[in-house]
């Protein structure tokens, strides 16, 4: 029992007093949260893309942490016959963390510029701006000094400093660059579906305020470097989807690497579109010194469903009992039409 109070106290202390050292909202299925990785990804793969994300974690340690994300992107030109075009993006993230009810609301509006190098390659740059609104309620926290040797005693003083303010509002700007290769418009194909993305980005150019206690503390700039691909396995209807992401934010860093193995159940029609493509992908990610993340992705036509579960392997394992976080993703997309059929604006699925 005492161990649980100690862990809760530690988590609360980290949230209240060291927010400036914390990382941003993040998801394990990071390839399905493009706006949180690089604003330059908007409009690169799809005419229209809508993604919803839900994540819950740390339920075995304290009140579960829940993160919700919703993103929308749209190319400005319906038919991108010329060598360049623009796209706009809107995303909203909400995070509710633990017993302290540390809530974060982060809406953003972004724009990207995509330049075609040839029929298979593109480079893009994007900017994103929005605001951070954070609130906290420390009244529900239980501290180690409030444990009387037998149980929690609310009448005992916590010994922690008072929180002078319960909300923070600040503004934020981020941006990045991306390189994209796509063998053809048929991403979902066992013959010519190879694709690759790689790039880098930075968030919090403006270094927004981040502390409820010390007004001079700021949120560190977050830097991202990533790459992911989808490569057909020769003489088969299968593909391998490797990826990695490295993020650095002040003294904190995160490195995650892994791959999915994709089984193409129904190939995409070349001309008629009568056959609806379908595939299922299974695999795992490894977040360095933190978690192993088994993942499954199901794709059918213009829809996709993803699920993953973090198996905790960090020093918090004795308390978490290896229970990490469940994550769910839903996606709807409309294909851009490029590659061999450059300039088309059809609505075939592309994965």
pLDDT tens digits, one per residue of 65-78:
899 999 999 998 75
In the three-class reduction of DSSP (H, G, I as helix; E, B as strand; rest coil), residue 171 is classed as strand
- Report whether 291 contacts 316 (CB < 8 A): no
Tell me what pLDDT residue 101 has.
Answer: 75
User: Quick check: 3 pLDDT over 70?
Assistant: no
> Rounded to whole angstroms, how far apart are CA atoms 197 and 220?
26
3-state secondary structure of 135: strand
CB 127 within 8 A of CB 173: yes
Mean pLDDT of all residues in 279-283:
96
CA dist., res. 218 & res. 209, Å (int):
4
- CA-CA distance, 111 to 124, in Å (whole number)? 11
- What is the rounded CA–CA span in Å between residue 218 and residue 215? 8
Lowest mean per-residue pLDDT among 236-250, 282-296, 326-340: 326-340
Question: What was the pLDDT predicted at 202?
Answer: 97
What are the beta bridge partners of residue 51? Answer: 71, 331
In this predicted structure, the answer to whether residue 340 has a pLDDT above a threshold of 90 is: no
| pLDDT reading at 262 higher than 80 | yes
Q: What pLDDT, on a 0 to 100 scale, did the predictor assign at position 219?
A: 80
> Where does the pLDDT of residue 317 fall: very low under 50, low under 70, confident under 90, or very high at 90 and above?
low
- Over the stretch 16-60, which tens digit does the pLDDT of each residue have? 444 434 457 889 999 999 999 999 999 998 889 999 999 998 655
Tokens of 191: 């013959």
Task: Give 167's pLDDT tier (boundaries 50, 70, 90).
Answer: confident
Mean pLDDT of 118-143: 86
The pLDDT, as a whole number, for residue 50 is: 96
Residue 160 has pLDDT above 80, yes or no: no
Q: Indicate the pTM of the whole model.
A: 0.83
Residue 105: the pLDDT is 93
Question: For residues 189-203, b (16+ Cβ closer than 10 Å) or e, as one string?
Answer: bbeebbbbbbbbbeb
- What's the pLDDT at 81? 54
> Alpha carbon of 70 to those of 60, 107, 223, 289, 314: distances in Å?
26, 10, 22, 29, 29
- At residue 58, the pLDDT reads 66
pLDDT, mean of residues 73-99: 82
pLDDT value at residue 144: 77
Contacts of 149 (CB under 8 A, 6+ apart): none
Query: Strand, helix or coil at 32?
Result: helix
Q: For residue 347, what pLDDT is reported?
A: 40
- Residue 220: pLDDT over 80: yes
HEC string of 262-276?
EEEEECCCCCCCCCC
Specify the pLDDT at position 267.
78
Mean pLDDT (the chain, rounded) = 81
Name which residue leads in pLDDT, 334 or 141: 334
The radius of gyration of the chain's CA atoms, rounded to the nearest angstrom, is 22
Q: 3-state DSSP call for residue 206?
A: coil
How far out from the chain centre does Cα 65 lie? 15
**Quick one: pLDDT at residue 321?**
56
Q: What's the pLDDT score for residue 275?
A: 75
**For 12-21, 274-283, 341-350, which range has the lowest pLDDT when averaged over its residues?**
341-350
Question: Which domains occur in the chain, in start order?
Answer: 2-341 (2.40.160.40)
Q: For residue 187, what pLDDT is reported?
A: 53
Give the pLDDT of residue 345: 37
Q: What percent of the chain is predicted at pLDDT more than 70?
A: 72
Residue with tokens 């394992």: 317
């Amino acid at each position: 029992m005492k161990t649980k109070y100690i862990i809760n106290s530690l988590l609360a202390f980290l949230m209240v007093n060291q927010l400036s050292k914390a990382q941003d909202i993040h998801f394990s299925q990071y390839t399905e949260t493009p706006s949180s990785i690089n604003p330059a990804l908007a409009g690169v793969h799809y005419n229209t893309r809508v993604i919803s994300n839900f994540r819950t974690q740390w339920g075995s340690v304290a009140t579960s942490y829940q993160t919700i994300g919703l993103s929308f992107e749209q190319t400005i030109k319906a038919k991108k016959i010329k060598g360049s075009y623009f796209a706009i993006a809107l995303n909203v993230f909400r995070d509710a963390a633990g017993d302290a009810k540390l809530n974060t609301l982060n809406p953003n509006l972004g724009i990207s510029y995509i330049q075609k190098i040839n029929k298979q390659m593109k480079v893009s740059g994007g900017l994103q701006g929005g605001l951070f609104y954070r609130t906290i309620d420390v009244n529900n926290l239980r501290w180690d000094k409030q444990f009387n040797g037998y149980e929690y005693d609310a009448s005992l003083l916590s010994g922690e400093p008072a929180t002078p303010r319960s909300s923070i509002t600040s503004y934020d700007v981020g941006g990045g660059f991306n390189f994209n290769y796509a063998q053809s418009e048929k991403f979902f194909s066992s013959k010519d579906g190879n694709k690759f993305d790689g790039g880098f980005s930075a968030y919090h150019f403006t270094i927004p305020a981040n502390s409820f206690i010390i007004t001079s503390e700021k949120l560190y700039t977050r830097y991202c470097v990533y790459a992911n691909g989808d490569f057909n396995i020769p003489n088969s209807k299968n593909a391998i989807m490797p990826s990695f992401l490295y993020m650095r934010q002040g003294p904190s860093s995160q490195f995650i690497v892994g791959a999915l193995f994709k089984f193409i159940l129904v190939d995409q029609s070349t001309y008629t579109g009568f056959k609806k493509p379908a595939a299922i992908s299974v695999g795992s990610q490894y977040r360095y010194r933190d978690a192993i993340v088994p993942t499954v992705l199901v794709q059918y036509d213009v829809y996709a469903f993803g699920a993953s579960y973090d198996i905790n392997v960090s020093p918090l394992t004795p308390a978490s009992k290896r229970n990490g976080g469940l994550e769910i993703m839903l996606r709807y997309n409309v294909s851009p039409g490029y590659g061999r059929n450059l300039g088309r604006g059809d609505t075939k699925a592309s994965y």
